Structure 1
Amino acid sequence: MHDAASNDRDGGSAVRRVGVMGGTFDPIHNGHLVAASEVANRFALDEVVFVPTGHPWQKDDRRVTSAEDRYLMTVIATASNPRFSVSRVDIDRDKVTYTVDTLRDLRAQHPDAELYFITGADALASILSWQNWAELFGLAKFVGVSRPGYHLGIEHLEEHLGSHPPDALTLVEVPALAISSTECRERASQGRPVWYLVPDGVVQYIAKRNLYRPTPTAGQRSSATTAPAGAAREIGNGG
């Protein structure tokens, strides 16, 4: 496992570095964007490709918002950052999505680039159960993002990474990861504001498409689309 602080790009290196941030993005939120930006800065990435999942095998226990809605929310959220892009590689796949498939496709699209797969550090703890996990570290370096001070027991992975370089797996702390898509969905379903948790354009898209709220009333619709004076204070208090 590698220390993120020592990941500076060599001055003479011309190899393009591409981050790959896969996720359900249901919805995409500011924590995702801050994490991608932080990793891009730490590793001097030239680009971060956001890849909304098509048929995520881990989410069989709940109904996932349509791939097209999740794709468009991701496009809206990333539009203002020139280093961010969004790929349809997974949502256009007619089968269950696995990380190894995503990385194979992106490796084919970026044959001369160094890929960095960005995911939650807690997800990395179970990477040995992922489809064709032994192939993954040959396709990309892995960056696990976590909240500051959050201890993740991944010591069991080190014996399996012995044949890979020290920077095959790196952990990076990102303060904004206290936000979760689950929380955003729950707030929207209850008619509570999600301003400042997700980008403004995504707030408006959720309201326009009536996402996460089966049968909203007029009053609920108004509360979801208008930022109340106390919204910033509420978020600061962990609401």
Structure 2
Amino acid sequence: MRKIKRIGIMGGTFNPIHIGHLIIAEETRKKFNLDKVIFIPTGSPPHKDKTKLIPALDRYIMTILATIKNKYFTVSDIETNRIGTSYTIDTLKELNVVYKDSELFFITGADSILDIENWKDTEELLNICTFIAATRPGYNLDEVNFQIDKLEKKYNKKISFLTIAPMDVSSSQIRKRIKENKTIKYMTSDSVINYIVEKEFYR
């Protein structure tokens, strides 16, 4: 009997990708015994300020640079190549066809999962794959658990939960530090830093 593959999906603007994204992906891969994690940089996300986004192709390239040394990580251009607004439901439908014999796990931050009812086609989203909510610094775990419990009962779907050791690194923090001419060393990979410097992004 052929083993069903377990595929992690990690979406985000990755503007830029940083060490926190990589830690969440690796911790999730290990805990949930995933065969691989696919990073999917968003193209034109519906809930983000697009004026602060660098081009999708550059975010895609930086994601490759940051993940290339981990054999379990891969990067998809499924959204960066899409014309128009990128909705998670459209991406998951496509991936469900490509990986029809696999089990999909969508990895996201606890803050995003608490906002999932504002996403397009929430119920269908929760039916397509298993959602994994990773905690981030600054969130009340009791409140997160309470809200996730409400979602599970409302949609009759299991949402897995993963506690990550506190790490106060964010893309917005990196962009701010670059603007202020401060170092971002160790906040992301050297290859990503070199790419940002070469392209003069976030100045």
Scaled by the length of structure 2, the TM-score of the pair is 0.92
Q: Which runs of 4+ in 1 moved over 3 A?
A: 147-150
**Contact 2:109-2:136 at 8 Å conserved across structures:** no
Q: Does 1:111 align with 2:106?
A: no
Corresponding residue to 1:70 among 36, 42, 59: 59
> Gaps spanning 5+ residues in structure 1: where?
1-11, 214-239
Q: Secondary structure at the match of 1:175?
A: coil
Q: What is aligned with 1:25?
A: 14
Q: Does 1:211 align with 2:201?
A: yes
**Contact 2:123-2:155 at 8 Å conserved across structures:** no
**Contact 2:10-2:107 at 8 Å conserved across structures:** yes
Corresponding residue to 2:112 among 119, 123, 138: 123
Q: Does 1:200 align with 2:190?
A: yes
**Contact 1:146-1:177 at 8 Å conserved across structures:** no
Q: For 2:88 and 2:163, how far apart are their aligned partners in 1?
A: 22
Scaled by the length of structure 1, the TM-score of the pair is 0.79
CA deviation string 1:22-67 (max 9, x = no partner): 0000000000000000000001100100000000111136421100
CA deviation string 1:131-155 (max 9, x = no partner): 0111012211000111377422413
Q: What is aligned with 1:183?
A: 173
RMSD of aligned residue pairs (Cα, Å): 1.6
Within a 5 Å distance, the mapping from 1:1-239 to structure 2 comes to: 14-60=3-49, 62-147=51-136, 150-151=140-141, 152=144, 153-154=146-147, 155-162=149-156, 164=157, 168-175=158-165, 177-213=167-203
**Contact 1:35-1:176 at 8 Å conserved across structures:** no
Shift of 1:177: 4.0
Percent identity between matched residues is: 37
